Amino acid sequence: MGVLRRAFILTFVLLLVVVAGLSVALYKIQERHGQIIAAESLAVQRLEVTDRAALLLAEQREAVTSSIFTPFDRHRFAQDTATFQELISAPFLSVTVEGRQMQDTILHDQRQFSQAALRLPAHPTAAQVLIIHNTGDALGSLLLSFRTRHTVDLVALHTSEEQQRQLSIIMIIVTNGVILLLALAGFALLSRLSRQQSESAALRATDKLRREFVAFAAHELRNPTSAIKTGVSLLSEPDVDPDIRYQVVASITRSTEALERLISNLLAMGRSEEGRLQLHRVAIRISSFFDNLLAELSIYHPGIEKRVQRQLPDALVDADPEYLKLVIANIVDNAVKYSPPRSPITVTGEIKDRMLTVHFHNPGAGIPPEELPRIFEMYETSGTAPYSLRRGVGLGLYMARLFIEAHGGTIWALSQPNEGATFSFTLPLAQIRPSETAAMSDGPNNPYHNQVG
């Protein structure tokens, strides 16, 4: 009996020692895991700053390229330069001597690039713009190299999690042989581990989304930029045939439109998701607004004015013109990509309960029923667009939903196999005072006629 007692006491003490040792080991692993999470969080912050700076630089490079054909907004360019300098000057971006040197080089080169761009004449030549554009390309490559220094080490994060998981399982098995207090302590440590794993999962998801966004932006910006660069090079040749020159100018115009729409969409989406979307709402006559917008879109989609058959009421809606442009342009662009060439796209409208409902119907194969509930989510597409060379990335309809909901409206889609699809959205009607109603009869000179922002 005495031997069994001593064996039990010895076993109990050994269990306590083992539990104590496991507790110390687990605490140290958790402490190191917390340091890894802090380091990865800082890396994500650095990626956010460099990504914002890269987007600003891309806008500046596009503005320099477009200065051959459109007025150069020097004030905005200078503001973007100041913002870029502020972002890259952040002290937490670099902790090594080599990193700070690269940081100083980027700041210096960007100042040189900005100063050269601001010295451009009002009507620069292609050669003048090409030199500055090449400088911007070199600066973009240097910024990308600087960004790769701050990648998130997910392998270390996963290894730390796996060590904690294995050690926690062993500790739970051991604590089953000890008193309830030690068992409760083990469960408390496991609960703490679960919280840290949830934080790690959220961090991995954020990093994955950011990498997807950067890859998308780089891909979408590269194609029109390359087309513009090639077109500018051709136009710089002295003996270019007039017909070819016209085609090149048309190609550059379409690429510029694509870049402007992409940048506007991305900036607006970012402001919306951050809660900084500010609507400048005015009374807009939807029929004339739509006609004017189709004229603008004809540069990007030749013949779209004749292809779209519209029957819209003569109504005034309360909306922000710029964001309403983005909504309609994205829906029309989607209809063009998913309907046969030269097939009619029907746009109709109706008024009910102080709301205007607009319907866009396009023929074609339609949207598969299993994909219909998700088409307004980010990065969701209904397969490859059968009638377009441009592959969708699932942002247009997502942003249309954000902007319509910001106006207090709703957006939805209906589709049947082989019968096309119908996209619809609602907007509130404008509240017009009696004095303003009288002014509306003045025709094109009144403040509500042909209001397009």
Q: 342: alpha, beta or left, given left = phi > 0 and alpha = psi -120 to 50?
A: left
Buried b / exposed e across 214-249, counting CB within 10 Å, b at 16+? bebbeebbeebbebbbebbebbeeeeeeeeeeeebe
Q: Please tell me the distance from the alpha carbon of residue 122 to that of residue 346, in angstroms, as a whole number.
A: 43
Q: Which of 297, 311, 309 is nearest to 344 (CA)?
A: 309
Q: Which tokens sit at 344?
A: 């009619």
Count CB atoms within 10 A of the CB of residue 7.
10
The whole-number average pLDDT for the span 306-331 is 92
Q: Which tokens sit at 370?
A: 């299993």
Q: Which one has a higher pLDDT value, 385 or 191?
A: 191
Query: Which domains, and CATH codes, for the chain?
Result: 1-276 (no CATH), 282-445 (3.30.565.10)
For the cut 50, the answer to whether the pLDDT of residue 452 exceeds it is no
Q: Please tell me the distance from the alpha carbon of residue 375 to that of residue 392, in angstroms, as a whole number.
A: 11
The whole-number average pLDDT for the span 26-31 is 76
Q: Let me know: does 357 contact 424? Beta carbons within 8 Å.
A: yes
Lowest mean pLDDT among 8-17, 125-134, 278-287: 8-17
278 three-state secondary structure: coil
Count CB atoms within 10 A of the CB of residue 382.
22
Q: Residue 289: what pLDDT?
A: 95
Q: Which letter does DSSP use for residue 447 in this model?
A: T
Beta bridge partners, 421, equal: 362, 415
Q: Residue 157: what pLDDT?
A: 64
Q: Let me know: does 164 contact 25? Beta carbons within 8 Å.
A: no
Q: Which residues, at least 6 apart from 203, have a Cβ–Cβ distance to it below 8 Å?
A: 37, 40, 41, 44, 152, 157
The kind and range of the H/E element at 424 are strand 421-428
Q: Which tokens sit at 141?
A: 């490559």
Which residue type is seen at 4?
L
Q: Please tell me the distance from the alpha carbon of residue 133 to that of residue 270, in angstroms, as a whole number.
A: 26
Count CB atoms within 10 A of the CB of residue 337.
21
For the cut 90, the answer to whether the pLDDT of residue 408 exceeds it is yes
The beta strand positions in 263-383, using DSSP E, are: 282-285, 308-311, 316-319, 345-352, 355-362
19 three-state secondary structure: helix
Q: Please tell me the distance from the alpha carbon of residue 344 to that of residue 340, in angstroms, as a whole number.
A: 9
Q: What percentage of residues in the chain have a pLDDT greater than 70?
A: 73
Count CB atoms within 10 A of the CB of residue 13.
10
Q: Write out the DSSP string of 362-377.
A: E-SS---TTTGGGTTS
Q: Please tell me the distance from the alpha carbon of residue 283 to that of residue 320, in angstroms, as a whole number.
A: 9
pLDDT of 139-162, one tens digit each? Answer: 888 888 888 776 656 666 667 777
Q: Let me know: does 183 contact 75? Beta carbons within 8 Å.
A: no
Q: Which of 70-79, 258-267, 437-446 is modeled with the greatest confidence?
A: 70-79
Q: Which one has a higher pLDDT value, 21 or 329?
A: 329
300 three-state secondary structure: coil
Q: Which of 24, 385, 48 is nearest to 171 (CA)?
A: 24
pLDDT of 188-238, one tens digit each? Answer: 556 667 777 767 765 665 455 455 455 555 545 655 676 687 778 777 777
Q: Write out the DSSP string of 59-83.
A: HHHHHHHHTTTS---HHHHHHHHHH
Q: Residue 407: what pLDDT?
A: 92
For the cut 50, the answer to whether the pLDDT of residue 93 exceeds it is yes
- The predicted model scores a pTM of 0.44
CA atoms within 13 A on the CB side of 27: 8
Q: Please tell me the distance from the alpha carbon of residue 147 to that of residue 151, in angstroms, as a whole number.
A: 7
